[in-house]
Amino acid sequence: MDVAALGMLHYPDPRLRRVAKPVEDFGPWLDALITRMFEIMRDHKGVGLAAPQVGVDLRLFVMNATGEAVDDRVYLNPKLDQRSGWAEAEEGCLSLPGINVQVRRSVKCRLVAQDRNGKPIEAISSGFVSRIWQHEIDHLDGVMIIDKMAPSEAIAVRKVLRSLEADFDDRK
């Protein structure tokens, strides 16, 4: 895989709708992929990026909730449980530029995953970090924020979605 050639996928690219496969190979290629994903995330001013968003069909996401390099996080084969509470907040998505919608998510949850070396990790978080986890894991399951929007929001973003669809058709 030529990770240098990877770039951001935009709706309606069908690769964004696939359920990603588990990471089983923790070889050196993985570090190159992770590094490239952080570059793409930062270039697009995001706080999280799932592998399917760059065309890689693996259960992996990177995130940084603060923008400080020390807060870079990598999660492979993540799962969420111990969810509690609900809150609605506005979310955007790097694969849906120009679209922000209200999304209802758990306030607090536990994430169980593996690090870049395949070692088990576990964390509990709430608020913004928990929201990022849920958003990125949705991507790993082929789910996007437009799947969660209210009918009134669907009407409001209809023109932007059509524009993204036309751009995608032009690139084919």
- Please state which CATH class domain 3-171 belongs to: alpha beta
Q: Which of 39, 91, 136, 153 is catalytic?
A: 136
pLDDT at 171 over 90: no
Three-state SS string across the chain, please? CCHHHCCCCCCCCHHHHCCCECCCCCCCHHHHHHHHHHHHHHHCCCCEEEHHHHCCCECEEEECCCCCHHHCEEEEEEEEEEEEEEEEEEEECCCCCCCEEEEEEEEEEEEEEECCCCCEEEEEEEHHHHHHHHHHHHHHCCCCHHHCCCHHHHHHHHHHHHHHHHHHHHHC
pLDDT tens, residue by residue, 35-75: 999 999 999 999 999 999 999 999 999 999 999 999 999 99
90 is catalytic: no
- Can you give the residue ranges of every domain in the chain? 3-171
